[in-house]
Structure 1
Amino acid sequence: MTKLTGKIALITGGASGIGLASAKRFVAEGAFVYISGRRKDILDAAVTEIGSNVRGIQADITNADDLDRLIDTIKAEKGHLDILFANAGVGEFTPLGKITSEHYDYTFNINVKGTLFTVQKALPLLRPGSSIILTGSTVGVMGTPAMSVYSASKAAVRNLARSWAQDLRGTSIRVNVLSPGATKTDKVIELLNPEMLESLAKGAPLDRVGDPTETAAVAAFLASDDSSFMTGSEVFVDGGYAQV
């Protein structure tokens, strides 16, 4: 596996779940990977787990100073980026009637504002032919009980990619959305009880939930030159859940 040999990548939210699995896959494919996250203990553990060709930088993507420090560090150490995986995100169950301003702000500040400014601040480091990957979700195209704010935030991410594909004309920089379905990460297991996970598995034609390594494999495809004629697209890794 060498499709990312010599490439420099940044994965936000890279210390756990799909981000961590993608960092491992990118390194296995030959990349040097920066991972960022809010909690230093989890970030340090992830760096140890990945082992080599990785650097962890503690950063909150909703904090402009943190983002500046993250991008400035990469610029000073490597000079450029070839891959930006804006993966950091959050989701909570809150039904209509119980939505608060705090819930809305928390979700949109991370999923939309944080994603937007991660990409904008990293843009000067991205060379022609670079790949931007945004993490979406099946809920961005479906109605999902008690997840309207999260779903709306992921629908917004989807349109950011469409619009940015137009903004990036002439740069050869690609931007695509990677949208997982139910995936067996620690956060999902914490959020969903076994009955809910089983229901999601039964709703997918493949009759199961996904593994983070499966999403990471598609992230590696979008990061590589194998996807050189793709931009503005959304790729679902959901076992068919939102497709049929």
Structure 2
Amino acid sequence: MSISLAGRTALVTGGARGIGLEISRQLIAQGCRVVAVGRNTRHLDALKAEGGKQVAVIQADLSQQTEIDRLITRLTAEHPDISILINNAGIQREMDLFHDPLTETIPGTRREIALNLDGLICLTLGLLPVLSAQKSAHIVNITSALAVVPKAASPVYCATKAAARSFTTTLRYQCEDHAPHVKVSEAIMALVDTDMTAGRGTRKISAHVAAKEVIAGLARGRREIWVGKTKILRILHRALPAVAASIMR
């Protein structure tokens, strides 16, 4: 079932950089009003200048609980018409669990968990009353192929994305039972050419292409949006899970 995006208000976390920036731009092009949340005011200001009246920007660090609470209060008051939530913000750290100093590993791990998981879950819960008050609403949680098949170098990132994948499924179940007009999608992201993936991997897809696939899946109401080569991984993991694990490792 396809949905119309024109005239809707969409909240995009991490909405002024990387994949989030492209999602914001493409939603604007389809007639959405975008509320972009991010940490970097310079990037937010650039998006605001580009999008004009169709864009509102809010500076917030979603790894901080107090800032999430303030953000929920502000969004509820200033943007009560939000009907699309795209949880895109996230970080990925590579680490050597046996050799990296604990003074770096533990604080970095806590922030990675806070942003990738706590921020996603708590913002979603905080905005459920706003979303469920709309005639129709949609939540899209951006996860990763690494939620399905993890890699050794990013243990915490893989764990948070796997947890986000599970939360997305159970959130969908509860929405189906209590608010069937609120649809829930998971976008399983491929390796995308962004600042976060600089120096990692090859044959990346562009942020523009990744965003285009996410929005196409959103518009079609798909429960799972497999982006780029994750479509192949999905088939391979089902047929030959050991081979998929060996490749992704």
Q: Which residue of 2 aligns with 1:159?
A: 166
Q: Mean Cα displacement is larger for which, 33-42 or 94-103?
A: 94-103
> Displacement of 1:81 after TM fit?
1.2
CA 1:129 to 1:3, structure 2 compared with 1: closer, same or farther past 3 Å?
Answer: closer
Q: Is the 8 A contact 1:16 1:46 kept in 2?
A: no
Q: Which residue of 1 aligns with 2:17?
A: 16
In structure 2, distance between residues paired with 1:6 and 1:134: 21
In structure 2, distance between residues paired with 1:37 and 1:184: 19
Matching of residues 187-198 of structure 1 within 5 Å? 187-189=196-198, 192=199, 196-198=200-202
In structure 1, distance between residues paired with 2:228 and 2:97: 26
Give yes or no for the alignment of 1:42 onto 2:31.
no
Q: Which runs of 5+ in 1 are unaligned?
A: 202-208
Q: Is the 8 A contact 1:96 1:146 kept in 2?
A: no
Q: Is the 8 A contact 2:165 2:186 kept in 1?
A: yes
CA 1:98 to 1:129, structure 2 compared with 1: closer, same or farther past 3 Å?
Answer: farther
Tell me the C-alpha RMSD between the 2 structures.
Answer: 2.0
TM-score normalised to structure 2 length = 0.82
Q: Is the 8 A contact 2:63 2:111 kept in 1?
A: no
TM-score normalised to structure 1 length = 0.84
Q: Which residue of 2 aligns with 1:210?
A: 205
In structure 1, distance between residues paired with 2:85 and 2:30: 15
Q: Which residue of 1 aligns with 2:62?
A: 61
In structure 2, distance between residues paired with 1:69 and 1:5: 28
Q: Which amino acid aligns with 2:182?
A: I
| Post-superposition CA distance 1:106-163 (Å, at most 9, x none) | 1111100010111011111102421001110111111312111110110000000111
Q: Which amino acid aligns with 2:76?
A: K
In structure 2, distance between residues paired with 1:6 and 1:69: 26
> Displacement of 1:95 after TM fit?
2.6
Q: Provide the aligned length of Structure 1 versus Structure 2.
A: 224
> Displacement of 1:52 after TM fit?
4.1
SS at structure 1 position matched to 2:36 = strand
Q: Mean Cα displacement is larger for which, 85-94 or 45-54?
A: 45-54
Q: Which runs of 5+ in 2 are unaligned?
A: 237-249
Q: Which residue of 2 aligns with 1:170?
A: 178
Structure richer in helix, relative to its length: 2
| Post-superposition CA distance 1:47-77 (Å, at most 9, x none) | 2233440011001113334233333333333
